[in-house]
Structure 1
Amino acid sequence: MAGDQVPWHWRVERAWTHASTQWSAWVLGAILLLSALGALVLAADHAMRTRLALDAQLAQAHAATPTRSADAPVEQPDFTQSLGPATPPAMVVQELQRACAQAGVVLASLQMQERAASAEQLGRSDFAITLRGAYPAIKQVIKQVVERFPSLAVQRMRMRRAQGPADIESSVTLSLWSAPFAASSPR
C-alpha cells in the first residue's frame, strides 16, 4: 500500500468527524423528516375529504328514501293464507287407499280425530294409520300422500318388524291443517 493512499472507509470516518459534514447530515435528516410529515398530512387530508364526500352521499340516499310514519301499521304476511281452503278428510283417506293399493302396502287400520277451525285457531284433522309392507313401499305411500296435500304433515312415525322377514309395520300420525275462519275468507 502506498503511503499517500488511505483506504476509503478511513476517509469517510475522518470526514464524518469533521464539523461541516455533521451539520449537513442533520440538515438532510430534518428535510427527510419534514417531507415524511408532509406526505402524512396530505394522505390524512385526502382521507378526510373522501369521508366527507361519502357522508354527503349517504345523507342524500337517506333523504331520498321515504320514511314510514310511526302510526302506519306494518302489514305482516299471514302464513295461514298459504293453507288455502280446508281439504276434506275423505280426500286424504281416498289418496291413502289409492297409494297403498298402488305400492302393495296394506292399510291395516285408520283412525281419525277432527277439530274444526275457529276464528282464533287452525283446524286440524289427525289420522292415526297403521301400514304393513316393505320399507320402500311404505316410504313411497307416505311421500305420495304428503306431496299431494301441502297442508298435511307427518307428526309421528314408528316402525317395527312384522311377521315376514321383509315386512315392516309402521304406525304413522298425520295432521291435516286448515286455516281459521277469518284467514280463509278473502280480504
Structure 2
Amino acid sequence: MGNSMQIPLNGPECECLGLFRMAISEETDEERLRAIQVIRHEVVSLGLENFPIGKSSSNEFTRWIAETARERYDAAHEFGEIAQRYEGKNERHLNIAEYIGKRVWDSIQNEKFQGLHTPSGILEQTSDYARKMGIRGARDQSVLREIWGKHRGVVHLGMAMDFCEDHPGTTWHVLQLAETFRAGLSSNYPQNAPSPYVDPDVQLSFFYLSGP
C-alpha cells in the first residue's frame, strides 16, 4: 500500500483552513499543490496587513517583504482565478465528493462496507438522494463517478471541518480528525473488493507543523 502526500500547515495557516479547502477543490494534484502555495502567500499577506512595518521591524524581515513582493503579487492574481473556479464549479463538486465520503465513512462505521459502484451502492444512493432533494449535478451516476474519482483523495479535510462545526464541543483538532478520516478511507475495503475505498497514493495528508 502506498503513502499519501503530506502537507504541513503552521498555526496561521490552520486558522485559514477554509482557504486551503478551496485550494484542494482544484481538479488535479498538480493544480492543488500550486493552489496550496498560492494560499500560503495569501495567508502571509493577510498577516502583513496587520503587521506594523516601521523602525521596529528587523532589516532581514523588511528585506524579505521587498524580495517577495512580486511573488506575492502574482499569487494574489492566481488566488482570484482559484476563487472564481471554486465559486463557479469546484465548490459544488467538492461538496458532492465530501457527501459521498461521509456515506462511505458511515458504511465503514456500521461495518456494512458497501461498494460505491454496485447496484444499490453508495453512488446510486447518492443519486437517489440528489433527485429527491433537487441537488444539481449529483443525479447522474457517471457524473458522480467522475467527481469522486477527482476528489476522493481530499474529501477528509472538509469532512473533518464539517464535523467540528457541527460538534463545537469536540476535543478533536480538525487536522487530527481529518487524518483519522483519511486513514480510515484508505485502510478499509468495500465487500469483495481488492482495493480500499481510497488508495493512499491519491491522498493529501494534512498535519500541524508546530514551532515558531
Q: Which has the higher contact order (CA 8 A, sep 6+)?
A: 2
With normalisation by structure 1, the TM-score equals 0.21
Normalized per residue, which structure has more helix?
A: 2
With normalisation by structure 2, the TM-score equals 0.19
